[in-house]
Amino acid sequence: MESMNTKPELLIARVLFGLRCWTGNRAAFNARFSRERAAIRALVERCAAERGARRVLIRRPPGLEDSSRNWSVWMTLDALQWKRAGSEGQTHPVGHASPCVRAGR
């Protein structure tokens, strides 16, 4: 059972994720990830090395960990790469570990 201290944004994210799993499919997810990677790559190619290494403190939007507010472009890309590496096993055909598959969707 969920703790009463669970943040609303986490509950909303879980519901939205579940809906995406239920209504989407692997091909659509992979296509979207590919489009997002291409868009990010286009932005990064225009970013000078010094600017990409500079940390920027942003206002904390709901759901963002406080420790994630002071990152550089390169730090953000590194984190996205970790996420990609972790999710590849979930979105490729062998995806038996996929949260969508585990949820019976």
Does 16 reside within a domain?
Answer: no
Pairing of strands 70-71, 56-57: antiparallel
Does 72 reside within a domain?
Answer: yes
Per-residue confidence (pLDDT) for residue 104, from 0 to 100: 41
Does 2 reside within a domain?
Answer: no
Digit-coded pLDDT (tens) for 50-72: 888 899 888 877 767 777 788 88
Digit-coded pLDDT (tens) for 65-102: 777 788 888 888 888 777 777 666 554 444 444 444 44
Does 86 reside within a domain?
Answer: yes
Q: Residue 40 is part of which domain span?
A: 27-102
Does 95 reside within a domain?
Answer: yes
Digit-coded pLDDT (tens) for 8-20: 878 888 899 899 8
Alpha-carbon distance of 48 to 25, in angstroms, equals 37
Q: Report the predicted TM-score, pTM, of the whole model to 2 decimal places.
A: 0.52
Total domains in the chain come to 1
Does 46 reside within a domain?
Answer: yes
Does 88 reside within a domain?
Answer: yes
Does 7 reside within a domain?
Answer: no
Cα atoms found within 13 Å of the Cα of residue 51, Cβ hemisphere only: 6
